[in-house]
Amino acid sequence: MSSADHQEVLDAALTLIHSRQHVSPRRLGDPGPDAQQIEAILTAAGAAPDHGLLTPWRLVIVPPERRHLLAEAFVEALVERDDQATEAQKQDAREKAFRGPFLVLVVARLESELGPTHPQERLISAGCAVQNMLLAAHAMGFGAGLSSGQALYSQQIRRLFGLSGEERALCFVSVGTVTKRKAPRTRPSASDYSSTL
């Protein structure tokens, strides 16, 4: 690559990184990514740094026709946490499962049989995979956001997604067309979080 090409790639990469922002799943509508775009988003995850080449995470897509199962799990998890939960709270938990046209759960694989790398390295790899997906979706013109919440740590979610004892549900990634955008947040400057030894 010539230095002019490098400059162009750098400008595009930094613009992409800095213009990405979290979009709440409730602000993501149709159309979502098509099959080819989904493949590209998932493939971007596979480009994450991966010490030991273990792919220490996996992705589980929740297609529209299976969202009702997620809705049930969210409600059951809520009731287990709070047996006084109101109908409105249950309805809110249920609705969360239907937000955003494309939804995928990111699962960290922490089982020792997978290889010698420390769990911390695996979580970092998973985080990088998430960021790759967010940036790929953003580059396609979609909005994307992460969601977690207490249900993520529930037995109901573990069961639904078939998580083994040493797997951990990290977050959901939602992708779709932005229906309403929020003002970008002010991000910290490098001097806020960096120092010199």
Nearer to ligand FMN, 8 or 95 (CB): 95
The reply on whether position 55 binds ligand FMN by CB under 6 A is: no
Q: Does 22 bind ligand FMN (CB under 6 A)?
A: yes
Shortest spacing between CB 5 and ligand FMN, in angstroms: 29
Measured from the CB atom, the residue of 75 and 126 that comes closer to ligand FMN is: 126
Cα distance between residue 100 and residue 168, in whole Å: 22
Only one of the segments 42-50, 73-81, 140-148, 154-162 lies at the binding site for ligand FMN (rule: CB under 6 A); that segment is 140-148
Q: Smallest Cα–Cα separation from 93: which of 113, 112, 114, 79?
A: 79
With 0-12 / 13-18 / 19 or more C-beta atoms within 10 angstroms meaning exposed / middle / buried, residue 187 is exposed
Candidates 38-46, 49-57, 136-144, 146-154: pick the segment binding ligand FMN (CB under 6 A). 146-154
- Residue 32: strand, helix, or coil: coil
Residue 131 sits in the site that holds ligand FMN (CB under 6 A): no
Min CB(197)–ligand FMN separation in Å: 27
Helix axes 87-96, 67-81, angle to 10 degrees: 140
DSSP character string of 64-121: GGGHHHHHHHHHHHHHHH-TT--HHHHHHHHHHTT-SSEEEEEEEE--GGG-S--HHH
97 binding ligand FMN? (CB under 6 A): no
Instruction: List residues near ligand FMN by CB under 6 A.
Output: 21-22, 24, 146-149, 171, 185
